[in-house]
Structure 1
Amino acid sequence: MSTSQTAVHRGIVKQVLSGDAVVIRGQPKGGPPPEKTICFSNITAPRMARRPNPAQDNVETKDEPFAWEAREYLRKKLIGKDVAFVIEYTVPGTGREYGCVYLGKDTSGENITEALVSEGLVEVRRGGIRADDPGQQQLIQLEDVAKSAGKGKWNTEEAAKHIRNVKWTVENPRNFVDSHHNKPIDAVIEHVRDGCTVRAFLLPSFDYVTIMLSGIKCPMFKQDDSGKQVPETFTEEAKYFTEVRLLQRDVQIILEGVSNQNLLGTVIHPNGNIAELLLREGFARCVDWSMGVVTQGADKLRAAEKIAKEKKARVWKDYSPSGPTVDIKDKAFTGKVVEVVNGDALVVKTADNKFKKVFLASVRPPRNTTPADSTESSPSKGRGRPLYDVPYMFEAREFLRKKLIGKKVNVQVDYIQPANNNFPEKNCCTVTISGINVGEALVGKGLASVVRYRQEDDQRSEHYDELLAAEARAQKKGVGMHSKKDAPTHKVADVSGDPNKCKQFLPFLQRAGKSEAIVEFVASGSRLRLYLPRETCLMTFLISGIECPRGARPLPGGQMTTSEPYGDEALQFTKEMCLQREVEVRVETMDKGGNFIGWLFVENTNLSVALVEEGLAKVHFTAERSNYFKQLQIAEENARRNKLNLWKDYKEAPETEEVVEDTTERNVSYKSIVVTEVTDDLKFFAQLVDNGPQLEKLMEQLRQDMEANPPLPGAYTPKRNDTCAAKFSQDNEWYRAKIEKVDGSKVTVLYVDYGNREQTTTTCLATLPASFQTLAPQATEYCLACVTLPPDEDFKADGVDAFYDGVANRQLSMNVEYKSGGLEYVSLTYLDSKDDVAQKLISSGFLLAEKRREKRLAKLVSDYMKAQEKAKSSRENMWRYGDFTDDDAKEFGYSR
């Protein structure tokens, strides 16, 4: 041995090799900090287990008792701590250095050798103890005390319990990962191979595992042609970064996946996720192949990488964005979806009435897998229709259409794809509705795939990892495009422009009455292309009863025709109202060109009436023969009066006193009725008293039938306009009802015998036996004649409430005064007092009198006007603040 050295050195403990040896890292001076292995003088620790080494003897050894406890005692006390140490001697030949280590920055701190001896974790080598050295004699005394107390290894009875059963290999990595269910496992990091690969003992099982950090990759050591390990740029720095934070630290590991028998996982230190820290400092990159298994915080990893890119830190020192940047003011917006383009693009109308086409970021719609030179015939002969021919494209479009059309969505622009190969620039976005990522939902249903990118391409969805996870779930479930079953086919008959085919379909469509359809395309305000799901056919449909201007349209030569005045506005109005919505059509006839003609309804709104009401169409003379002529006339009068669009320059003819020759007398024919329901617009439903016994008998028989043959819940499939049996929520009894709207499991019904509406579920509906459909609906809708509600919302509500209180569930006398828009306007009187209901409400200041010119109604109108003057003078209800009709007389139907 060499002579004793008394110089005091300082450093930080990097690693504990055993119970009597540590690695100490010195202070760095421009380069990597120097390291020194120090063995403790005069003691021997129990030897730790050694794994088989094929390069040597390939023999596995076991722990000596308390070897792990001695190592752990030092690890918990020293790792990462400042220490002072004195090298006492160096062994010639091996160069191994022995000395004494003190906790702290000088030798006044705790003597680690003495601490180990006191705990009974090591044995003093008494052969080398000098009698004249009080420090060494102190070790003998401490050991004697530990022996007498039976501490540590001197407790021979407990020795067998302090030998680890180390499992050096994992037989089935996949099952091993699955058995831990993505739950955090306590572990100690034993070795850092590189910045993103570590070896660790899992506790308390002592499984020895190699973990590759999920979702990232650091610069690594590569083998050159001569077999030498050569580090990539920043390899050493990345390894050092991980080493000083994790080596021999208590951590938690989440096992997440397997790659080529290597375990993938996340290592969580008390100060955070090491992968996130590596990314933030520019020591690592995100990798897609393992990002998909990250169970928590994948978005944080991407965000950390983004920070490093912006700072151009280390591996990103030469970074430049792979595409154009998105202007912050255009980064996010909200709007209403007006069109779904195939399975990956939407047209959104923004708050400032602009239309933006956006593509779902990193999502690829279904594609035709049939080779271009394939001899297989397309399901749709003639011109190609990808929507119906490409497998799952129709299902993808329908999924988005049903979820989004007409709904408000939030749009976040992720990246802009530049124009190339004659394709225009694309705004690629994340679209969400009620917090749900539309692209992720589409991919999760197996109706789209996720785009794969080059590693350096950062032009991708900010939720790319969620998309990959959704695709993995879809593949595991085997849904949509990932199903092993044959893809659904759509054999669609296109009868557009084919008079012969149209003639075959016409009788069937005429007999069907209203047919359900989806608007696939809008060519002009009154010309649409429809898909009828039940008949699986495409048709061109022309709107009846109106004359609508046409917008600009392409000609065969590629030129465009000029738009007729307000043609483009009519086109846009119809598109917003109808495009890709479920509608009902009533086909009346067809023209010579193979186009069907009829009426189209969107949620019970007649499109012809709506266009006329907006001044975007005029009533055509052919409408006189229809049931909607009166509605069209009223709509046109309103548009003309308000000078809307086509009527912008309309000038009314000079007013002349019109003498209405009305020699007819007021027809008085009272019927006894019971009012069963009142609506918010002063309309009401009533039953004829004479039909009461018949209705009661029918209801009793219906309930007996339902009780004797209870329907199977959910067996009935509701369809709009069907008549069914419905269980009323208030009394749990069955009634006849008409289905007005179906929205998933929620169904809106009208109880046809009482006039009230209710939203119920499919489980409360049943098929109505034919024997109960012979009696006509007993509740008829009426409206009070010669009166109107006040314009103020509060007064209007008061008027409706007063009317309801006066007539609900009471027997009254009713006389029909006139008809308008298919609705009968009536007067009501009480049976006992013979008082006119409307007159009493007017005189109480709840309703306004409506001045009408029919001579036969003159007496009735006069009585109502007198009642109104009385209410004014008495300041009743709506008149309590004075006469408000002076400035707005025309608005309420008065002329001065």
Structure 2
Amino acid sequence: MVSPNQHVQTTVLVAGLRAPTTARTNPSDGTTQPAEPFGNEAQAFVEDRLLQRSVQVQLLGVSPNGILVGSVRHPVGNIAEFLLKEGLARCVDHHSTWLGPEMGKLRQAEKSAKDGQKGLFRGTVQQRTGASGEAEAIVSRVFSADTLYIRNKVGQEKRINLSSVRQPKPTDPKQSPFGAEAKEFLRKRLIGKHVKVQTDGKRPATEGYDEREMCTVSNNNKNVALMLVENGYASVIRHRMDDPDRSPIYDELLAAEEAAQKEQKGMWSPKPPKQPTYVDYSESLEKAKRQLTLLSRQRKVPAVVDFVKAGSRFTVLVPRENAKLTFVLGGIRAPRSARGPNDTAEPFGQEAHDFATRRCMQRDVEIDVEDNDKQGGFIGQLYVNRESFGRLLVEEGLASVHAYSAEKSGNANELFAAEQKAKEARKGMWHDWDPSQEAAENGEDLQEAPATNGVNGDAAPRTKDYRDVTVTYVDPHTARLKVQ
């Protein structure tokens, strides 16, 4: 009834659900198609409550077949909820954006029927989704816009996928250019941050894919998947009707995706993004020397650690110069880690590599460039949260001071103090440090000298005599000096 004087008779699909079909007769050949299980019961349920009754119909849209879709309200509520509670229908996702918050009520009604094994769900065994409670973790690496590596409180790392969302498809020419931008969006917000993780389910291993853990991740009470979808950096997966491994805010994700598409955000924009092109200046020594001239004039240059090659060796990106560098920490030497499954690491080499990965991987850092090595690497200092990472590595006993390069870089005192601190704490490579043995190796005599020219049998006090000298020769085998 459009008005007291105007009536319209039409077919309306009830939004948010699909009920089983009733028995039908094919008009072309007269054959009868039997009803689906509980199809006749669902029809009788609706007839008893709505036929010849005054109801309110809110039209929401049109189906692909041109049929109106709407919400039908009985005097005591939405008929869809009552159907779902009795197990006489199933929820469908494609009406979610039309219904908004109302969709959540329908899902709760369906869950009630499943738990009570009513109607369509009678005799069914609910799938175990592997869902778990909320846990805290640190994001250690952003693999892509929908895949993260997280580390728990005891230091164990695992790979997880964000529930119900997908990164821009690498195979789609319109979406793939936004893949790097979406990954960077997450890196800036999550790397090294504390997050809350709830496992929604697990996907078993298939050919070419390992088992995947589907999780809801939140940072500062913000759902990470929702942030991605709102900014057009992820699309929402269309689950099967019986797929339980989905985000608990699935309907919000669908609504956010529709809004992002309308506003042409992110990968829904018709314009491709500007992708930075990084030049690898460590490809050759000649290119490295040219870039050294520019970088050595600057201090605390902003950079991003793209990869950790070893405890003291990194691949860094310098966005403002569009430069990619192999960066080596100056003034120290970290033990070498294994470079492959058949390689053997030096003692504490893997520990140094792991420490550098935890502290530096994908982090925003600052670098001071001092020199080049023979392979085109850039030697200098790297700062994480304004702290010298070289000093941190030495303090943990995971690197030793290289005296010559430390003096050259101007931070020798700081590094030697850090090394002495690690020795006294017996950390890392200094776990069996013996000060007397070190003194003997350095040619020092720790035994008390006999009393000569002293008072009351005490040893005579040593006198210090500093003189300016010039080093004329350094023996390459013994490191002995000749001075004049």
Q: Is the 8 A contact 1:450 1:468 kept in 2?
A: yes
Deviations 1:796-815 (A, max 9, x none): xxxxxxxxxxxxxxxxxxxx
Choose from 175, 188, 196 the match for 1:402: 188
Report 1:820-859 matches (<5 A): none
What percentage of aligned pairs have identical amino acids?
41
Cα distance change on mapping 1:576 and 1:261 into 2, 3 Å: same
Q: Does residue 35 of structure 2 align to residue 231 of structure 1? A: yes
Q: CA deviation at 1:344?
A: 1.0
- Aligned counterparts of 2:112 and 2:311: Cα–Cα separation in 1: 51
Amino acid at match of 1:217: R
Return the match for 2:6 from 167, 186, 193: 167
Match of 1:567 among 349, 352, 376: 349
The Cα of 1:211 is off from its aligned counterpart by: 4.0
Residue 630 of structure 1: CA displacement? 1.1
Distance verdict in 2 for CA 1:209–1:433, change over 3 Å: farther
Query: Counterpart of 1:623?
Result: 406
> Which residue is 1:649 aligned to?
432
* Residue 429 to residue 660, structure 1, CA distance change in 2 (3 Å): farther
Offset, 1:643: 1.1
- 1:677-692 → structure 2 map (5 Å cutoff): none
* Alignment pair present for 1:304 and 2:143: no
Q: Which amino acid aligns with 1:513?
A: R
- 1-structure distance, mates of 2:23, 2:464: 104
Deviation, 1:253, is: 5.1
Q: Deviation per CA, 1:246-271: give whole Å up to 9, x if none.
A: 45667665543332554433345565
Displacement of 1:406:
1.8
For the 8 Å contact 2:170–2:179, the answer to whether it is kept is no
Pairing 1:509–2:295 present:
yes
| 3-state SS of paired residue (2:257) | helix
Q: How does 1:394-793 map to 2 (within 5 A)?
A: 394-554=180-340, 559-621=341-403, 622-653=405-436, 661=463
Corresponding position of 1:256: 60
Contact residue 367 and residue 391 of structure 1 kept, 8 A: no
> How far apart, in 1, do the equivalents of 2:74 and 2:430 lie?
74
Query: 1 CA distance for matches of 2:298 and 2:217?
Result: 39
Deviations 1:184-229 (A, max 9, x none): xxxxxxxxxxxxxxxxxxxxxxxx7754322211112364433567
Contact kept? 1:346, 1:359, Cα under 8 Å: yes
Residue 214 of structure 1 pairs with residue 15 of structure 2? yes
> Structure 2 CA distance, aligned partners of 1:564 and 1:416?
38
- The answer for the alignment partner of 2:478 in structure 1 is none
Q: What secondary structure is seen at the aligned counterpart in 2 of 1:634?
A: helix
* Structure 2 CA distance for partners of 1:267 and 1:587, relative to 1, 3 Å: same
Give 1:541 deviation, angstroms. 0.9
Residue 400 (structure 1) shift: 0.6
Task: Give the TM-score, by structure 2 length.
Answer: 0.82
Deviations 1:386-406 (A, max 9, x none): xxx941111111111111112
Greater Cα radius of gyration, structure 1 or 2: 1
Alignment counterpart, residue 79 of structure 2, candidates 268, 274, 298: 274
Please report the TM-score for the alignment, with normalisation by the length of structure 1.
Answer: 0.46
SS of 1:367's partner is coil
Q: Give the Å deviation of 1:349.
A: 1.3
Q: Given the superposition, is the C-alpha separation of residues 660 and 249 from structure 1 closer, same or farther in structure 2, using an over 3 Å criterion?
A: farther
CA distance in 1, matches of 2:154, 2:60: 47
| Whole-Å separation in 2 of the counterparts to 1:656 and 1:618 | 27
Give secondary structure in 1 for the equivalent of 2:100.
coil
Q: Secondary structure at the match of 1:221?
A: coil
Q: Name the amino acid aligned to 2:84.
A: L
Does the 8 Å contact 1:392/1:488 carry over to 2? no
- Computed over aligned residues only, the root mean square deviation of the Cα atoms, in angstroms, reads 2.9
Moved more, 236-245 or 413-422: 236-245
Superposed displacement of residue 439, structure 1: 0.7
Q: Report the CA distance between 1:307 and its aligned residue.
A: 4.0
**CA–CA distance in structure 2, aligned partners of residues 629 and 251 of structure 1:** 84
Where does 1:315-326 land on structure 2 (aligned, <5 Å)? 315-317=120-122, 319=124, 325-326=129-130
Q: Does the residue aligned with 2:434 lie in a helix, a strand or coil?
A: coil
- Segments of 5+ residues of structure 2 without an aligned counterpart are 440-445, 449-458, 467-484
How far 1:615 sits from its partner (Å)? 1.3
Tell me the matched-pair count: 441
1:502-524 deviation per Cα after TM superposition (whole angstroms, max 9, x unaligned): 23322111123332111111121
The question of whether the paired residues in 2 share the 8 Å contact of 1:519 and 1:582 is answered with: yes
User: Does the CA contact (< 8 Å) of 2:335 and 2:349 recur in 1?
Assistant: yes
The amino acid of 1:233's aligned partner reads P
Shift of 1:637: 1.3
Q: Secondary structure at the match of 1:392?
A: helix
Residues 685-729 of structure 1: CA deviation (Å, up to 9, x unaligned): xxxxxxxxxxxxxxxxxxxxxxxxxxxxxxxxxxxxxxxxxxxxx
CA contact (8 A) 1:528 1:540 kept: yes
Q: How far off its partner does 1:549 sit?
A: 1.6
Distance 1:224 1:599, change over 3 A: farther
The 2-side partners of 1:661 and 1:210 are apart by 108
**Aligned with 1:367 (options 141, 152, 169):** 169
Q: Secondary structure at the match of 1:414?
A: strand
Residue in structure 2 matched with residue 865 of structure 1 by the alignment: none
